[in-house]
Structure 1
Amino acid sequence: MVMVDPPEKQLFLLPVIALFFFSYYQYSSLPISSSNPTHITTFSLNSNTFSPTIKLLTFNRLNSLSRCLRSLAAADYSSDKVHLHIYIDHFNNASSSDLEESQAILRFVDGFEWKFGEKVVHYRTANVGLQAQWLEAWWPTSDNEFAFVVEDDLEVSPLFYKFLRSFIVNYYYNPSNFTHSIYGASLRRPRFVPGEHGNKIHLDSGMHVFLYQIFGTWGQLLFPKPWKEFRLWYDEHKAKGIKPYLDGMVTNGWYKKMGERIWTLWFIKFIHSRGYFNIYTNFPNERALSVSHRDAGVNYARLQLSENATLSNLKS
């Protein structure tokens, strides 16, 4: 059961089984047991066409980047080929110390061993900010491409890929479960409904996964078709001068304050207009498959406390 404090107007939050009533597809709840919350039934896929890529966005935080890469490299990828693309933003009006910092990051990235697939480094010539970092990181070239996007202050559980792969296999490739209404999965555990009063989300302890429309930047898996659809929708709405406002959402204030520095409001407006959903996890003891250390940087002026501990054991 999912409960939220009385809202004004909000995006939808549903237990996964509720999608059965929402969709024309024969849909079932994710078969995840309470004793083994990351186990999902098996459905075969073609390993020759399946193409997952990690998109890591970074700027000027070498320690954060190092921690993130180490956690990614410690994950279990089985025998899959998983590519790693690293996008390094540039300084504005770079000083000599800024350039030294960038060079230190480049040296570290160049020397970092990624043995699971191809490693590609994109080093920008100018500062573009998080909006361009996200939006320009991916244009899928096939329906079998999947992007897992992380910012550099994220740390992932060793189990994260096993969970995401099982999710893709069973809820993208399995025709009996597939629905166009799901655009991906987030490793973040959300806490609040982004209404004007920030009401807290209340979840039954037995519900390990649920549907929610909000986008998650703390480790987000993206499906190819909805992402391409969003990019085209974004272009059209920007060209018409439309703003990403939604009635009753605290995000309106964020946009008025930050403008185009915060891009996720556009995606939230898009998925709200389409009725699309994201998959979120709800593991015991508020554990998650990723944790954001919220290091000082573009999003936070100073270090913030981390929200969750990562899930490191199937029975944690």
Structure 2
Amino acid sequence: MSNIANMKVSLNIALVSFTMVLLISVKHRFWKDKLTYSNIQDSQNSYVSRRLDPLYCKRMQGNFLRIHDNKTYNLRIIVIVFDRYESLLRLLRSLNQAIYDGDTVKLEVWIDRSEQGVLDEAVVNTTNTFSFQHGDYEVIPHFEHVGLHGQWISTWMPKRNSSEIAVICEDDITVSIYFYKYLKYVHKKYDNYSEINGYALQGYSMKHHVKNTSPLVGPNGSIVFLYPVVGSWGFSPSRDNWIHFQDWYTSACNDDTNDLFIPNNIASKWYIQFKKKGSHKSLWTIWHMYHAFINSEFTLYTNLPGHIGLSTNWREQGLHFKNFGGKTNELLQVWRQEFEDLPTKPVHVDISGKVIQ
């Protein structure tokens, strides 16, 4: 019996050793310094099973084998970046200056790779030397090139019973010191409104009608309003709507017959043009717009004088801007008390900016 017991101990030790070697080798393959791995443990309501499903991983083209920690935060900030280290640092500094009221916060920086699988060295150095002053901080390189689709759709995977607020920020924005205070109020007020799919931080946007793409202005007297197009310059999804969108996307993205046509929406025209050029994968928002269209959903926007916002976009040179254009709007510097007394029935406007009666 003692020999059998010794054999079991030896096998257990060998198994543990093999597992440790495997994890270490994977870690060093994809990251030079830090990449946190945790046990594959989650509740029945989590996305673990779908993250580990090979077909789902293939469809989403995202990094689903990176296991999210089991901890729930008051706020999870997701920053997505590829190769713009200077704009990334500007955003990170603005996040350090924001007010979090002592709440639990985690900042995640997700780094995409080139199509050849290479990480940008300047971005890696920037993330390694940055220190987040308000909570936990993790740098997560994708295992492979995922593009904007993978960066946006596969990074926040909420549990169905989570009370966590998340905000997704591309590297070319900066935020107001009050961005989180605002998000707490709008999530508390509107998260049980099934038609509201999330909250845009940006102060400036355009109308999306094919015949009118002038600046979007909300109705007079309305501190916030609802618009049927996502605002991606700092977006905080509504949990249930985001989960539904992710589930829908996993099948819709493999449907070659899906033309994503939205009547009178300029983005549908862009998508057709981008598809002809083979650059349509940079337009992830059309999927969200189409999902919102077929489900009668809206995004909540602020409506402050002069397009003042909780975020601003610097229009850095990249996929969507050929040249540096400077910031789109000023940031909110003085808290607005109106945000603490939000309307029960926000005004709806259509893609031409007209009030929906």
TM over 0.5: yes
Relative to structure 1, the CA distance from residue 199 to residue 106 in structure 2 (aligned partners, 3 Å threshold; closer, same or farther) is closer
Match of 1:249 in 2: 265
The one of 162, 166, 183 aligned to 2:181: 162
Report which of the two has the higher share of helix.
2
SS at match of 1:266: helix
Q: Is the 8 A contact 2:97 2:177 kept in 1?
A: yes
CA drift of 1:121 comes to 1.0
Matched, 1:185 2:199: yes
Name the residue aligned to 1:195. 209
Contact 1:205 1:284 in 2 (8 A): no
When residues 115 and 191 of structure 1 are mapped into structure 2, their CA distance, relative to the original with a 3 A threshold, is closer
Residues 147 and 221 in structure 1, CA contact (< 8 A), matched pair in contact too:
yes
Q: 1:148 aligns with which of 167, 170, 189?
A: 167
Correspondence 1:227 to 2:245 = no
Which consecutive unaligned segments of at least 5 residues does structure 2 have? 1-70, 275-279, 338-357
Contact 2:204-2:307 within 8 A present in 1 as well? no
Q: Which residue of 2 aligns with 1:27?
A: none
Equivalence map 1:44-83=2 (5 Å): 51-83=74-106
Give the letter aligned to residue 78 of structure 2. Answer: K
Q: Percent identity?
A: 28
For the 8 Å contact 1:143–1:225, the answer to whether it is kept is: no
CA distance, structure 2, for counterparts of residue 271 and residue 111 of structure 1 = 39
- In 1: Cα distance, 2:123 partner to 2:166 partner: 23
1:82 partner amino acid = V
Q: Residue 332 of structure 2 corresponds to which residue in structure 1?
A: 311
Contact 2:168–2:236, Cα closer than 8 Å, also in 1:
yes
Q: Do structure 1's residue 105 and structure 2's residue 128 form an aligned pair?
A: no
Q: 1:207 to 1:90 in 2, by over 3 A?
A: same
Task: Summarize deviations over 1:234-277 as a string: whole Å, max 9, x none.
Answer: 12222332121212211122112222221110110101111112
Do the aligned partners of residues 59 and 227 (structure 1) sit closer, same or farther apart at CA in structure 2, a change above 3 Å counting? Answer: same
TM-score (norm 2): 0.68
Within the candidate set 81, 86, 103, 2:109 is matched to 86
1:129 aligns with 2:147: yes
Cα distance between partner residues in 1 of 2:286 and 2:294: 12
- Look up the SS of the partner of 1:203 in the other structure: coil
CA distance in 2, matches of 1:166, 1:247: 33
Contact 1:156/1:310 (<8 A) preserved: yes
What is the Cα deviation at residue 113 of structure 1?
1.3
Partner residue in 1 for 2:24: none
Q: Report the secondary structure of 2:253's partner residue.
A: helix
Q: Taking structure 1 as the reference length, what is the TM-score of the superposition?
A: 0.76
Alpha-carbon distance in 2 for matches of 1:150, 1:314: 21
CA contact (8 A) 1:157 1:310 kept: yes
**How big is each residue's C-alpha offset from its partner over 1:43-88, in whole Å with a ceiling of 9 and x where there is no partner?**
xxxxx96632011001111110000000011000001011111111
Tell me how large the CA RMSD over aligned residues is.
Answer: 2.1
Q: 1:190 to 1:105 in 2, by over 3 A?
A: closer
Q: Distance in 2 between matches of 1:130 and 1:150?
A: 12
Tell me which protein shows more strand as a share of its residues: 1
Q: Secondary structure at the match of 2:184?
A: helix
Gaps of 5+ in 1: 1-47, 173-177
CA distance in structure 1 between the partners assigned to 2:321 and 2:105 by the alignment:
30
CA contact (8 A) 1:89 1:124 kept: yes
